[in-house]
Amino acid sequence: MSLTATQIISSLEKILDENSIIFTKEKMQSFLTEPRNRFHQPALAVLKPNSISQLQEIMRFANKYKIPIIPQGGNSGLVGGQVPLYGNELIVSLAKINKLRELNIEEGYILVEAGMILQQVQNIAREKNMLFPLSIGSKGSAQIGGILATNAGGAQVLSYGNGRELCLGIEAILADGSLYNGLKFLRKDNSGYDLNNLLIGSEGSLAIITAAKLKIFPRAKFYETALIGVKNLNIAYQLFQQLVKKAQKRLTAFELISRFGIAIQIENKLINQDFISLQSPYYILAEISHFDIEEKEILTQFFEIAYEKNLINEDSIIAQSMAERNEIWQMREQMSESQKFAGASIKHDISVAPKLVPELIERGIREVAKINKNIRPCPFGHMGDGNIHFNFSQPVKMEREEFLSLTKEINQIIYDIVLSLDGSISAEHGIGQLKIDLLERVKDPTAIKMMKLIKNSLDPNNILNRGKVLKL
pLDDT tens digits, one per residue of 347-367: 999 999 999 999 999 999 999
Cα 70 to Cα 46: distance, rounded to the nearest angstrom = 9
Angstrom distances, CA of residue 12 to CA of 22, 55, 64: 11, 11, 13
Q: Count Cβ atoms below 10 Å from residue 307 Cβ, excluding itself.
A: 13
Average pLDDT (58-70) is 98
Q: Do residues 117 and 96 make contact, with C-beta atoms less than 8 angstroms apart?
A: no
pLDDT at position 187: 73
pLDDT at 306 over 80: yes
pLDDT at position 2: 87
Exposure string over 48-67, b if 16+ CB within 10 A, otherwise e: bbeebebbbbbbebbbeeeb
Angstrom distances, CA of residue 39 to CA of 79, 80, 123, 434, 444: 9, 7, 33, 9, 28
Please enumerate in sequence order all residues whose Cβ is within 8 A of that of 142, keeping only pairs 6 or more positions apart, or say none: 73, 74, 76, 117, 118, 136, 152
pLDDT at position 448: 97
> What sign has the CA pseudo-torsion 209, 211, 216, 222?
positive
Element (DSSP H or E) covering residue 346: strand 345-346
Residue type, 212: A
Q: What is the average pLDDT value for the chain, to the nearest integer?
A: 94
Length of the chain counted residue by residue: 472
Angstrom distances, CA of residue 135 to CA of 143, 293, 323: 12, 24, 19
Average pLDDT (444-466) is 98
Closest CA to 156 of 134, 140, 177: 134
Average pLDDT (207-218) is 97
Q: Do residues 264 and 213 make contact, with C-beta atoms less than 8 angstroms apart?
A: no
pLDDT at 242 over 90: yes
pLDDT at 185 over 80: no
273 compared with 43, residue with greater pLDDT: 43
Task: Supply the pTM of this predicted model.
Answer: 0.93
Cα 137 to Cα 141: distance, rounded to the nearest angstrom = 9
User: For 157, phi and psi rounded to 5 degrees?
Assistant: -60, -35
Output Rg (C-alpha) for the chain, integer angstroms.
Answer: 23
Cα 102 to Cα 128: distance, rounded to the nearest angstrom = 13
* Percentage of residues of the chain with pLDDT beyond 70: 100
Name the DSSP class of 96.
T
Q: Is 358 helix (H, G, I), strand (E, B) or coil?
A: helix
Banded model confidence at residue 293, pLDDT cuts 50, 70, 90: confident
Cα 121 to Cα 110: distance, rounded to the nearest angstrom = 8
pLDDT at 150 over 90: yes
Angstrom distances, CA of residue 17 to CA of 45, 49, 149, 336, 394: 14, 9, 27, 39, 47
pLDDT at 292 over 90: no
CA dihedral 29, 34, 37, 41 (to 10 degrees): -60
pLDDT at 279 over 90: no
Closest CA to 258 of 229, 235, 281: 281
pLDDT at position 132: 97
Average pLDDT (8-36) is 94
Banded model confidence at residue 205, pLDDT cuts 50, 70, 90: very high
Banded model confidence at residue 155, pLDDT cuts 50, 70, 90: confident
pLDDT at 154 over 90: no
Q: Is 453 helix (H, G, I), strand (E, B) or coil?
A: helix
Cα 41 to Cα 89: distance, rounded to the nearest angstrom = 10
Cα 453 to Cα 138: distance, rounded to the nearest angstrom = 33
pLDDT at position 414: 98
Q: Do residues 63 and 458 make contact, with C-beta atoms less than 8 angstroms apart?
A: no
pLDDT at position 62: 98
Name the DSSP class of 166.
T
Average pLDDT (185-203) is 90
Q: Is 456 helix (H, G, I), strand (E, B) or coil?
A: helix
pLDDT at position 212: 98
pLDDT at position 323: 92
Average pLDDT (66-94) is 96
Q: Do residues 45 and 24 make contact, with C-beta atoms less than 8 angstroms apart?
A: no
